[in-house]
Structure 1
């Protein structure tokens, strides 16, 4: 399948353009000044995202952002810092070495993970590795080992997307990414209504799994490490899988319904709960794609639009197959 999603990219700030106070704080964490820095591609976070090496040869990954780059990004970095400091070592995530927060700039210093992002379009072997790791994540961390918000709270604003479309005073659907769903807003809004109960659970969920938030390595957890955890939540075990698959589809992956129903987490899920959550997520993507691009994130809306085409297509398939099963 040909990918429809553009690359996940934010406006990256080179290491040398970070404020001196931020660079000095990173030196304090690492114990020596940075002598080499390489900006990393991929990911929507604006600001700096660099692999660094110090004068003593120590390596790390640094991400830093200021409120002038994107007003909401420092808050996400702060949330990630709190979570990363509390994650047990068994969670396949980079270890936080230290953080700097001066009220305007937030910088996080992580151990360097020697790995690479999955290829896009997805390669079957890499996708199998990632899906297996998602299964382990969904099965091993219940109850959630850290304090994170419940999914109904964490997703509340985003999952109101279809309701916002329904309440929109525009009567046509020009520019909307999902014509099939746009013609059924009231029906699908009702279908999505039980989503808060549907996603409820006590499993630690990453909440934002995409190819650019995954590193394939030869190390722990069979070579899969999940990065960028500011959206972590307590959820039903299958929620990460559901949130990930429209993106996989938009980036050249297989049919999401086939992947979901073949996966152990998907097979164990309540079908009605999955359908409600998928309807809500499809609405979330449709609503988000219509909003102006946030500062420093020029490709975000196009990326969401591609997912916003994949998610309702999955929902349509799921509903059709459900009707066929009931008709037997």
Structure 2
């Protein structure tokens, strides 16, 4: 299967006029004025509205809103984000939640509007260093976790079993020859990821360039629906394959900790990408599989280096 080089982290967004009218009315009422400007933001995969709005009185906000179509799973993800965003302390480098609500099957979140930009593609070294430093600072600030969140094994246990699923399917057609040779060992290595990733840090667990905003003096991390409690290095390990895929240094150049537990987590992430990348696109998410496949190429190279298996 061909792999697209550096596919965009962008999906199909719902334009503001297509958001449920009761949601638009509630947003306008909360902001205290009629919305006269609505600028859709393309980054991210969810089939939802992501809009920077301005009222006739000049007030600005960032609005996320999703209904039950076209992907019925997305509203539950937004409910999770609403709960997490409402609980995050001010010390977390995330935009402040102003309000959130549900109406007619739609879930809406209204955040402060950040005048920021995503990291450049391909990655610039100065921005990469700024982001890596911020990720380290965030990890330290969120240890121990300042809010209640599910343990990492509970959040991702059903997802991170790609090698074991492939082993059970007994179908190695199209797999990388190295993977096919080591599939049993990869399944065993992957099975230890949850114990390795356990910890007491609040982790974002979905860190990529499209979930990062840069201002002149600060790094903001957005979109927290998958936040959970785990090892302090988990966010960095999750971020590195996308950095390598998007023109930055390879993961092994940025993180060389030889801890076998890290290798187990890298195996689990790689298995997820390799197993899910070839699957059909989920409803309303036509770009996510290409992104997973591209990350899988980088992650697999990292895994081969970390295991040292011939």
Q: TM-score band, normalised by the shorter chain?
A: over 0.9
Unaligned segments of structure 1, at least 5 residues: 262-266
Residue matched to 1:312: 300
- Asked if residue 260 in structure 1 is aligned to residue 255 in structure 2, the reply is yes
CA distance in 2, matches of 1:123, 1:151: 31
Q: How does 1:30-45 map to 2 (within 5 A)?
A: 30-45=31-46
- Aligned equivalent of 2:116: 115
Matched with 1:277 is: 265
Q: Map residues 209-220 of structure 1 onto 2, 5 A cutoff.
A: 209-219=207-217
1:229 aligns with 2:224: yes
Q: For 1:29-55, what per-residue CA distance to the aligned partner results, in whole angstroms no more than 9, with x for missing partners? A: 212121101111111111211100011
Q: How far is the alpha carbon of 1:173 from its aligned partner?
A: 2.1
Aligned 1:11-22 pairs, distance under 5 A: 11-22=12-23
1:62-121, CA deviations, whole angstroms, 9 ceiling, x for partnerless residues?
A: 111111121111111110000100100000001111112125111111000110000111
Please list, as runs of the form range in 1=range in 2, the aligned pairs for 1:67-146 lying within 5 A after superposition. Answer: 67-102=68-103, 104-146=105-147
Change (3 A) 1:54 1:191: same
Deviation for aligned residue 1:25? 1.3
Cross-structure match for 1:264 = none
Runs of 4+ in structure 1 deviating by more than 3 angstroms, as ranges, are none
Q: Given the alignment, which residue of 232, 238, 244 partners 1:243?
A: 238
Aligned residues: 307
The answer to whether the Cα contact below 8 Å between 1:46 and 1:70 also exists between their aligned partners in 2 is yes
Asked if 2 retains the 8 angstrom alpha-carbon contact of 1:40 and 1:50, the reply is yes
In 1, are the aligned partners of 2:250 and 2:298 still within 8 Å (CA)?
Answer: no
SS state of the match for residue 8, structure 2? coil
1:168 Cα shift? 1.2
SS at match of 2:131: helix
Give the match's secondary structure for 2:270: helix
Provide the TM-score with structure 2 as the length reference.
0.95
- Unpaired segments of 5 or more residues in structure 2? none
Q: Which residue of 1 aligns with 2:55?
A: 54
Match of 2:182 among 169, 181, 184: 184
Give the distance between the partners of 1:52 and 1:12, measured in 2 at CA.
Answer: 15
Work out the CA distance in 2 between the residues paired with 1:184 and 1:134.
33
Q: Give the C-alpha shift of residue 126 in structure 1.
A: 0.6
Q: CA separation in 1, counterparts of 2:269 and 2:76?
A: 23
1 CA distance for matches of 2:54 and 2:211? Answer: 22
| TM norm structure 1 | 0.90
